[in-house]
Structures are given as structure tokens and as C-alpha cells.
């Protein structure tokens, strides 16, 4: 059986990766529609040796579509997801628009695939830093429940889209020429710099990105019991995020046991060479499917604490790959018919 697929936001950083993954993973595509804004009309993108013309998103664009992979920002998803569902498609949405909606499953296939069974037409793809963290923490949490997570992130420009990635390159060459870097997409120059994450600040003092890690991780793990805090920082890296993660358990968790568990965990690759001080780096995580995990060590400040470090490709597992894996899960479990159409307004 093959499926009619539409990519909403096909011209973006995640959209072009979705296209590549559908092809390289041999997703059973019967027909592919590439949707973006009016700005992209007339462009075409290659898929399976053909050039597919990009269309402007419209009501009619969702007719005769089985699966929509949406990655065009929250407001675009809010405007179009329910239209697509009404026309009979299942939407896998990469934006934050529906993630915390109780009617919308939030899925990392290695962690909570069972949640897909309850979908009502929309399935949310979690925030990128959250996806990467859950891959490393879930297998440990299965063995001994984690009580508290303290995370610090080092996030690449790709999370802010293709234009932000281009801006970091332009800023870098400007600085190397001795010129002032210009920031138009990102709020401040990122080249040779870093800044606290540019998502909106909330009354709590946390930015939205940090609260996504808190709230989405709890929803994916299916528990409100875990205490989580995070500091999210944008760094001048192109497409892989890094995270320093401190975990606190009710009893000691030895680094060797954690290593053993993570060496067999799906979607994770353990990468440690203590003799060479060689651990995961964004340049090695870029373009890879697995989250690289290393520097697993006992927290010297707490007998039940464990420290670890990870890097993962933000565009791939942080976004496009996770979305395509959700689509594969829907196909495998025969879940492309929503149980009850969801009308999100």
C-alpha cells in the first residue's frame, strides 16, 4: 500500500530534510505534494529523480492527501491542520501549536509509540531538545525512575530555520572580513557569540523553549512527577544541538550500568574515549540519525546523581526524522484512520 503525502513548509530547513528522508527511507509514497507560502510558488525540489513543483498552501491542496508532514511554524499549523484533518488527512505537526493539547498525542517513537493509537487526526512532534533528551533519559528511567532533571542546552541555529543558518554563515564571513555582523533573523549576532535562547520569556523567568523541555518531557514520559529545570542557550553551531544533563534518582545509578543500558538503547549511540578526551560533538552528530551520548559520570555532589552529555542532529532526529518515524509507525500499526476527527480551532 502507498500513501499520498504532503509536506507543509517543504522549502524550509526541516521540510527539505523531510523530502530527503521520505526518499532515503523508502517511505511508501504514492504522490507527494510540496506546500509552502506564496513566496515559493514557481520553485521546485527534487524527489526520486523528479522535480516537484512547490504549491502555495490552500484548502484544495489537502484534498486527496493521507498524511501531512507540517513544518511551517505554529501559526501556519494552527491555520491549516484542522483543514487537512477535515479533508481526511492525518497531520504530523512539527510546530508547538498542539503539543500540549490533551487530544493530541506527543510522540517520540522510541519512547511512547503506544500514544499514537489515540490520535484524532493530529499528532505532534515534540520540541527538538526534548526529543534528544528523552532518547537518552527514557531507557534509564525504565530501570530506575528519574526524580529530577537539570539540563543545559547548546542549541544550533537550525532550530530557528534555514534563514538563521544562512545568517550565521554571513555573520561569520563579515567578522572575518573585519566588518560588523548583521542580525536580522536572530535577535543578536550568533557568530563567535552565544545568547540565552531567543524564544519568548514567560512570567516564570523561563523562556518558552525551557518550559517545553519541562512540560513536553512529562507528557511524553506519562508522568507529572519528574521535576525538571533547564537553561537553553543558542550557540554558533549550524545543525546539531548539545545538552549537559544531570539526573537525580532515588538510589545510586552507576555510570557503568547506565553505559550498558545506553549502549543498547534504540536511537542512541554511546561515544566515549576517556583516554583521548573524545566525546560527542555537534560536527559528528550532524547528518546522523542517532543521538550521541557520552561523558557519563557519577555526580560528585550527589550520591544518586548521574551526569551525561549528548549531541543530536536538530533537523534530523530533533525534527524531520522523528516525524517520518511517526508516519512509519502509523503505517505499521494501521493508524491512518483517525478514531474521531479532531476539529482544532
- Positions touching ligand A2P (CB under 6 A) are 9-15, 36-37, 39-40, 57, 72-73, 76, 161-163
- Which run of H or of E encompasses 241? strand 240-249
> Which of the residues 119, 128, 141, 311 is marked catalytic?
128
Smallest CA-to-CA distance from 157 within 238, 94, 242 is with 238
Instruction: Give φ, ψ of 110 to 5 degrees.
Output: -75, -15
Pair 282, 237: CB distance under 8 Å: yes
Shortest distance (Å) from residue 253 CB to ligand A2P: 37
- Cα dihedral across residues 10, 15, 17, 21: positive or negative: negative
Q: Spot the catalytic one: 119, 141, 197, 241.
A: 241
Question: Which residue of this chain has its Cβ atom nearest to ligand A2P in the complex?
Answer: 12
- Length of the chain, in residues: 345
Asked if residue 291 lies in contact with residue 312, where contact means CB atoms within 8 angstroms, the answer is yes
Our CB check for ligand A2P shows the closer of 115 and 183 to be 183
Residue closer to ligand A2P, measured from CB, 271 or 320: 320
Torsion of CA 124, 130, 136, 142, to 10 degrees: -60
Considering the complex, state which of residue 10 and residue 237 has its C-beta at the smaller distance from ligand A2P. 10
In the complex, minimum distance from the CB of residue 144 to ligand A2P, in angstroms, rounded to a whole number:
38
Min dist. Cβ of residue 163 to ligand A2P (A)? 6
User: Is 241 among the residues known to form the active site?
Assistant: yes
Pick between residue 60 and residue 333 the one whose CB is nearest to ligand A2P: 60
Q: For the chain, what is the radius of gyration of the CA atoms?
A: 20
Nearest C-alpha neighbor of 226 from the set 197, 244, 202, 246:
246
Q: How far is the CB of 140 from ligand A2P (least distance, A)?
A: 32
Cβ(305)–Cβ(299) under 8 Å? yes
Give catalytic status of residue 119 as yes or no. no
CB atoms within 10 A of CB 24: 9
Cβ nearer to ligand A2P, comparing 162 with 335: 162
Closest CA to 147 of 60, 227, 40: 227
Q: Residue 8 CB, nearest distance to ligand A2P (Å)?
A: 6
Q: How far is the CB of 79 from ligand A2P (least distance, A)?
A: 7
Give the SS3 label for residue 272.
Answer: coil
CA–CA dist 319, 241 (Å, integer): 12
Nearer to ligand A2P, 43 or 148 (CB): 43
Contact 267, 134 (CB under 8 A): no
**Which triple of cell numbers denotes residue 42?**
514557481
Enumerate the active-site residues.
128, 241
Amino acid at each position: 500500500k502507498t500513501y499520498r503525502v504532503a509536506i507543509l513548509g517543504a522549502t524550509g530547513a526541516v521540510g527539505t530534510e523531510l523530502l530527503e528522508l521520505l526518499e532515503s527511507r523508502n517511505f511508501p509514497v504514492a504522490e507527494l505534494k510540496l506546500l509552502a507560502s506564496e513566496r515559493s510558488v514557481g520553485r521546485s525540489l527534487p524527489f526520486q529523480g523528479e522535480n516537484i513543483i512547490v504549491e502555495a498552501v490552500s484548502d484544495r491542496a489537502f484534498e486527496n492527501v493521507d498524511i501531512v508532514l507540517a513544518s511551517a511554524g505554529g501559526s501556519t499549523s494552527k491555520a491549516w491542520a484542522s483543514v487537512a484533518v477535515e479533508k481526511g488527512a492525518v497531520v504530523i505537526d512539527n510546530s508547538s501549536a498542539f503539543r500540549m493539547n490533551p487530544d493530541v498525542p506527543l510522540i517520540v517513537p522510541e519512547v511512547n509509540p503506544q500514544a499514537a493509537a489515540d490520535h484524532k487526526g493530529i499528532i505532534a512532534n515534540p520540541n527538538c531538545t526534548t526529543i534528544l533528551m528523552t532518547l537518552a533519559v527514557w531507557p534509564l528511567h525504565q530501570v530506575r525512575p528519574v526524580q529530577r532533571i537539570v539540563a543545559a542546552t547548546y542549541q544550533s541555529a537550525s532550530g530557528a530555520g534555514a534563514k538563521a543558518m544562512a545568517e550565521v554563515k554571513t555573520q561569520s564571513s563579515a567578522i572575518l572580513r573585519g566588518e560588523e555582523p548583521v542580525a536580522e533573523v536572530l535577535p543578536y549576532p550568533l557568530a563567535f557569540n552565544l545568547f540565552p535562547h531567543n524564544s519568548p520569556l514567560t512570567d516564570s523567568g523561563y523562556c518558552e523553549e525551557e518550559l517545553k523541555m519541562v512540560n513536553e518531557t512529562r507528557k511524553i514520559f506519562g508522568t507529572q512527577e519528574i521535576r525538571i529545570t533547564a537553561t537553553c542557550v543558542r550557540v554558533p553551531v549550524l545543525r546539531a544541538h548539545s545538552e549537559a544533563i544531570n539526573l537525580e534518582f532515588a538510589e545510586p545509578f552507576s555510570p557503568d550500568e547506565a553505559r550498558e543500558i545506553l549502549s543498547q538503547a534504540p536511537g542512541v549511540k554511546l561515544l566515549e574515549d576517556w583516554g583521548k578526551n573524545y566525546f560527542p560533538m555537534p560536527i559528528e552528530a550532524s547528518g546522523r540519525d542517532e543521538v550521541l551520548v557520552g561523558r557519563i559520570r557519577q555526580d560528585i555532589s550527589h550520591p544518586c546523581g548521574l551526569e551525561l552529555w549528548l549531541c543530536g542532529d536538530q533537523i534530523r532526529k530533533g525534527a524531520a526524522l522523528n516525524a517520518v518515524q511517526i508516519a512509519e509507525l502509523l503505517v505499521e500499526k494501521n493508524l491512518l484512520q483517525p478514531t474521531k476527527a479532531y476539529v482544532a480551532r
